[in-house]
Amino acid sequence: MRLSLLIFGAFLVAASVAQEDEDDITFGEEAEGDFGYDEMADEMMDETEGLEDSLGLARPEIEERMSKLFPVLDKDGDGKLTKKEMSEWLKRLHPQVQMRQSNLEFDAIDKDKSGFVDLSELHDAYFGEDEAAAAEGKEDIALRFKTVDKDGDGKLTVEEFKKLLHVGEDPALMKVEIDEILKQQDTDGNRQISFAEFKGQEASEEDEESMKKEFDSYDANKDGVIDEKEIEAIIVQHSEGDHERDVTDMLADAGLDEDASLTLATMLEKLESVVQSKLTDYGELLRYPHEYGMDLPFDAPESTEKDEL
């Protein structure tokens, strides 16, 4: 299994868990996703109705909230948002998104509403009814639970639980993840991953070129191997996010140049693309501003009730 698949896959409790019934939980930043609109121009009205339905807000109210949010991002007050200003906003917003996400997922997993998550609740949320996966991953979950259960009382507070979703915040858990990755890929036991180990034996020749580029991007010091410090850097980078790339993606979705600045008029014209981006945490910031711990120029809308997970 390749390094990237391990980091973003089953060995991180923060990875997405695909399950079918309404009580199942999706972990981590992979839960973010989009609204799934059709982008064809002749269906723009349907997209607008979808946006309103998704947020539980009328379009004029969405526009009003975005208009109030605009000057919060526009630090120099020149009436346009540069890529730097939008990236800095995402950096400021990111820990609040993590905090809210942790709180929501904690509440959903805490089935008995004790104010704590125990091992059985975490196990059930992660594996659901997949008995085979549960049997195989039981020790992995237990090890991570024990690692973040700092007082050893057999239950996790929301702060302890948060570390499971954001591995970079806990050195002990970081070591667990690095050891797991090395266990899976470091076949010669030297605590480094060569390109041969990275690509594995199943890689086809046509995949090798793209895999080599990926490997080289991880090999920061260009010594031909991925060492423990480089693995840690990859995990931390994933946890912190790439805010500049997120802005570039949003601008591309809006059909704008990657270095374009946004005026308020352009933001409202490209409302669907902006609201469906991380600038508003996919619209959640507009719906539940009070859950982000930030001083924002608008309150939670009276017309919207919080969905149950």
Note the pTM of the prediction, 2 decimals: 0.74
Q: How confident is the model at residue 302 (pLDDT cuts 50, 70, 90)?
A: low
Cβ 117 vs Cβ 109: under 8 Å: yes
Architecture of domain 67-166+243-309: Orthogonal Bundle (1.10)
Report H helices in the chain. Answer: 3-7, 44-55, 59-73, 83-109, 119-127, 131-148, 158-165, 171-185, 195-199, 205-218, 228-240, 243-253, 264-269, 271-275, 284-287
pLDDT at 226: 96
The b-or-e profile of 130-160 (16+ CB within 10 A means b, else e) is: eeeeeeebeebbeebbebbbeeeeebbbbeb
In which element (H, E) is residue 187 found? none
According to DSSP, the residues that pair with 262 across neighbouring strands are 81
Whether the predicted pLDDT of 159 surpasses 80: yes
> What value does the mean pLDDT take over residues 241-245?
89
Average pLDDT, the chain: 82
pLDDT at 136: 80
Pick left, alpha or beta for residue 308 (phi over 0 → left; psi -120 to 50 → alpha; otherwise beta): beta
Calculate the CA 177 to chain-centre distance: 18
| Residue percentage of the chain with pLDDT more than 70 | 81
According to DSSP, the residues that pair with 48 across neighbouring strands are none
Q: How confident is the model at residue 15 (pLDDT cuts 50, 70, 90)?
A: very low
Q: How confident is the model at residue 49 (pLDDT cuts 50, 70, 90)?
A: low
Read off the pLDDT of residues 70-106 as tens digits, 9 standing for 90 and up: 999 999 999 999 999 999 999 999 999 999 999 999 9
pLDDT at 104: 93
Whole-angstrom distance, CA of residue 251 vs CA of residue 253:
5
Read off the pLDDT of residues 120-148 as tens digits, 9 standing for 90 and up: 999 998 888 888 888 888 888 999 999 99
For the ranges 129-138, 146-155, 190-199, 270-279, the lowest mean pLDDT is seen at 129-138
Whether the predicted pLDDT of 182 surpasses 90: yes
